Structure 1
Amino acid sequence: MVVLILERVKTSQRGEMSRLAIELKPGVFVATVGARVRDQIWKKVCDEWKSDALMLYSSNTEQGYVIRSNGDPSREIVEFEGLLLMAKPDPKASQKDSDEVKESSETATESPSPFLSLEDFFRSKADSLSSELDNDKE
């Protein structure tokens, strides 16, 4: 099974996708297609349409699916200890980070990510759970 979420696409492109899949909501498509067709759809979305998109499809992973992302979708895929999570950037955090970068005299090679606090949160939760498990074993 494949779920394709398209953002900011033309009506004609949605119509073309509706020939291959069911459109549940505007821009949200579901279909059962083979790997070759799935990859051809993804290539068309990325290369020809240059659309912002997310594709989820069944796979033999721990979660049972894989997520692909193209363009600048409204959410970012974050991998945390083998699990794929979706994160929505905090506009306040990104504004604060950009203000701090402007004030800094050093030039950073990477732009600050609003998702760092989310990763820190999950890591601290995982650490606390593992320490609780260690305490229970003793």
Structure 2
Amino acid sequence: MPIMTVLATTAVPDHVRGALTRWMIEPTPGLYVGTLSARVREELWSVVTASIGTGAAVLLHPSPTEQGFTLHTAGERRRIPQDFDGLTLVAFRPDDDDDGDEAVANPF
């Protein structure tokens, strides 16, 4: 049964964008939306993950979870999905350029 699928990409090769636009629409650059079967979704995701290079991608689709969707990521991202008792929450990876100094609190 086809279901709504959303895929967001950043800096992926042109051939990946071409493969995605065969099955999905691209309403804004790097955002793809379509109604896909599970098999097509899995095949497209394998193409994206195999060709991601220095880019990044996020895939969202409905599933029978507490939140009602499943989140998949590929590539290097600052945001990292974490599973907490069946809920997917997003953690932030610390900046590499952080010098370790504590931030000065605003006195006002």
**TM-score relative to the length of structure 2:** 0.74
Higher strand share: 2
The equivalent of 1:8 in structure 2 is 11
The answer for unaligned runs of 5 or more in structure 2 is 102-108
Cα distance between partner residues in 2 of 1:12 and 1:92: 31
More helix by share: 1
1:42-94 CA-partner distances (Å, limit 9, x unpaired) = 11111144442111111111111111111112421122232112233342896
2:38 aligns to what? 35
Q: CA deviation at 1:11?
A: 3.7
- In structure 1, how many angstroms separate the alpha carbons of the residues matched to 2:98 and 2:72? 24
Structure with more contact order per residue of length (Cα contacts < 8 Å, sep ≥ 6): 2
TM-score, normalising length from structure 1?
Answer: 0.60
Q: Which runs of 5+ in 1 are unaligned?
A: 100-138
Question: Which structure has the bigger radius of gyration?
Answer: 1
**AA in 2 matched with 1:13:** V
Count, aligned residues: 97
Bigger mean CA deviation after superposition, 16-25 or 60-69: 16-25
Contact 1:3 1:55 (C-alpha < 8 Å) held by counterparts: yes
